[in-house]
Structure formats: C-alpha cells, structure tokens
Structure 1
Amino acid sequence: MSLRFAAARTPNRSPVARALRKRAIECVANDNGENVEHDRMLKAALRHFGEFGLSAARKARQNAEAAFFAGDRDLYDWWLGVCRVLDRRLAAELETGTSSKSA
C-alpha cells in the first residue's frame, strides 16, 4: 500500500506548518549592542597582547600602577580597563591594591 502526502489547504493553520515556519529572530544571543567603548577597549587590549604576548596583562598592570602613582586618573582607568580585558583577576588585585594605597 502506498502513501500519498498532499499539501495542506491552509498552511498557516497546520501545526506542522507552524512548527516549520521560520520565525523572526527577536534578540540574537551574542548581540552585545552598541557598546563602542567596550569595542575600543577590546581592540586596544588585543593590540597590546599582540605586542607583549602572554605578559601583556602584567605590563598593563605596571602601566596602570605607574599612572596611578603619577596621579593621572584617566590613564590609570584606561590601563585598568586593558588589564581587566586581559586578566580580570589581576585587574581586581590591582583595584584593591591601589584603593588601599590611596587611603
């Protein structure tokens, strides 16, 4: 006995057609939004990593410490951000260390 499949007359009402119909993607899972500052920081960290390799996070920490002790808060924040992108734990140690030194 052979089986014959026929198309549904109302494709929008068929449960199978509804399940197979392509739905619009509401929110992409890896969509980071329009965070331009983060993208800028990521590019700088990757460039820094390309120059210093595996010691890039330590070098960024040294640069942040030098800026901190020189009193340049903007430069400190920049290097802290680079260090945070490369190694969060090292950046957290830097933040707690410099905050206790400033008190």
Structure 2
Amino acid sequence: RRLGWHAAGRGLIAPVLARAANDNRRDGGDAGPAGAAFDPLLAEALKHFAIHGLAAAEAAVDLAAEAGARGDANAKDRWLAITQMFDRRLAARAGRAPEPA
C-alpha cells in the first residue's frame, strides 16, 4: 500500500486537530488570566502609535502639554502615562514642573 500526501496528512494533522481547543469563551464566564491582563491604557497607546508611528511619544507629550494648559489634570496624567510607554525619559522630563526663573 502506498502512502500518499493525504495519508500522511491524516496521520500527522488529524490528531492535532482533534485536540484543538478554542480558548475564546463565549459563555460570559471569567476569561482567566488573559482577560485580567487587559489594560485599556495600553490599548489606547497602541491606537495612538498606529496613528503617529515613531513620532507617537512626541505627539503624546504635546497632547499632555495641551491638556495641562487647559487645566485638565486627568488628561495630562493619561497622556504622560502613554508617553511613558513609548519614552520614559521624555515622560519624566515632561512630568517635572518647570522651575521658576
């Protein structure tokens, strides 16, 4: 009996497919450690990176400065946190209050 491609495929792939499991729960139950690790700030930073590319850190620090000028401390902190994900030193420099002259 000659073993062709199909026979080899059934022998090697079928057992793997039979054991495959879908870990995307649809019953609304606890998603486990992967679901608990979701970070909305990280998702926002990734969207920001998708828009601005390698200039994302500079754009985020500019948005933090604009929020600070408006007096919106929450937005400033959020943009500084996003800046920190891209460039910690830039975020540290931007987060320091300017020294009076």
Give the TM-score normalised by structure 2: 0.59
Cα distance per residue 1:24-76 (max 9 Å; x no partner)? xxxxxxx79x465xx11111111100000000100000000010011011110
Match of 1:46 in 2: 46
Larger Rg: 1
> How far 1:100 sits from its partner (Å)?
2.5
Cα RMSD of the aligned pairs, angstroms, is 2.3
Separation in structure 2 between the aligned mates of residue 42 and residue 84 of structure 1, nearest angstrom: 11
What CA distance in whole angstroms lies between the structure 2 residues aligned with 1:101 and 1:45?
29
Matched residue type, 1:48: H
| 3-state DSSP of counterpart to 1:54 | helix
Give the Å deviation of 1:101: 5.5
Secondary structure of 1:45's aligned partner? helix
Q: Which secondary structure does the structure 2 equivalent of 1:55 belong to? A: helix
Q: How far apart are 1:78 and its partner, in Å?
A: 1.0
Q: Tell me the equivalent position of 1:94.
A: 94
SS of 2:85's equivalent?
helix
Structure 2 gap segments, 5+ residues each: 1-32
* Cα distance in 1 for residues equivalent to 2:99 and 2:69: 10
What amino acid is aligned across from residue 52 of structure 2 in structure 1? Answer: F
Secondary structure of the structure 1 residue equivalent to 2:68: helix
Instruction: Pick closer, same or farther for the CA change 1:101–1:62 going to 2, 3 Å.
Output: farther
TM score, norm. by length of structure 1: 0.58
Cα 1:82/1:40, change in 2 over 3 Å: same
